[in-house]
Structure 1
């Protein structure tokens, strides 16, 4: 008697909804990308200011509220832009995830922006993932998005298997 071989590894989860741990890991990577981008922008500003105006060399001081607003705005643009254009952020790419609408297509711009804002304002919305039957966060429920494992490329029709 022959048994059907079950795919292992990434092929087994390809196209399935992503869980909490994978999504939090992607979010941590995205946080590091945003913090690194803020650091590079601040350093570039300080260098340019020093070259144009002379000493002293100082980093910009926006205060806690200014820095939070600046970082949040940059994060929102990064998240929404990534989800709208390629369907994934750097963190999503590293973790093999893709953000789609419920039918598997790209998020419309308004949905991507709203999802990014909700993601930043209410990160605890991710805690709904383990109790959701379709592993949806609060943000996914509001916007109509889904986060799926996608190691091999995007397919609007669902699971996309590697060639070969």
Structure 2
């Protein structure tokens, strides 16, 4: 192990970094869900008057709404620069095995897999190449990338 993060540039990311990024992303998606509820309540208050209250969507729709927002958020981040907010904070980038950007279809499939089966991330602990099950299925890799360019 090294104390110099620059030495890890371009190496495959480990479990702790990737779980930390996923946790940050989960908080970001949760914040968007709460913000959407507040905005919907504000619109209802402005149009109908009365006391301001948050909408109470049916409980069975919450996983569908949260899952859909998660897939959109992850796909958008991985297509536009290869990073979500969590990846940015943790210095990670998602790319294809061939070191190219992931592309929309593969990013979408990876986002669906990560949202529906997050435990697949644990495969990193037994993989020689630090690949999650999602990485193996879509041919992606998560690397340390602080955006530094060699001088």
Specify the TM-score bucket, using the shorter chain as the normaliser.
Answer: over 0.9
Flag as ranges the 4+ runs of structure 1 deviating above 6 A. Answer: none
Aligned to 2:103: 108
Q: Secondary structure at the match of 2:16?
A: helix
Alpha-carbon shift at residue 8 of structure 1 (Å): 4.6
* Alignment root-mean-square deviation, CA: 1.3
Q: Choose from 12, 15, 26 the match for 1:17.
A: 12
Aligned to 1:118: 113
In the aligned structure 2, how far is the partner of 1:141 from the partner of 1:64?
34
In the aligned structure 2, how far is the partner of 1:9 from the partner of 1:92?
19
Q: Which protein is bigger by CA-based radius of gyration?
A: 1
User: Gaps spanning 5+ residues in structure 1: where?
Assistant: 1-6, 154-159
Q: Choose from 50, 60, 69 the match for 1:74.
A: 69
User: Gaps spanning 5+ residues in structure 2: where?
Assistant: none
Aligned to 2:146: 151
In the aligned structure 2, how far is the partner of 1:64 from the partner of 1:72?
13
54-63 or 44-53, larger mean C-alpha shift: 54-63
Aligned length: 150
Q: Choose from 19, 36, 41 the match for 1:46.
A: 41
Q: Secondary structure at the match of 2:130?
A: coil
Aligned to 1:93: 88
TM (norm. structure 2) is 0.95
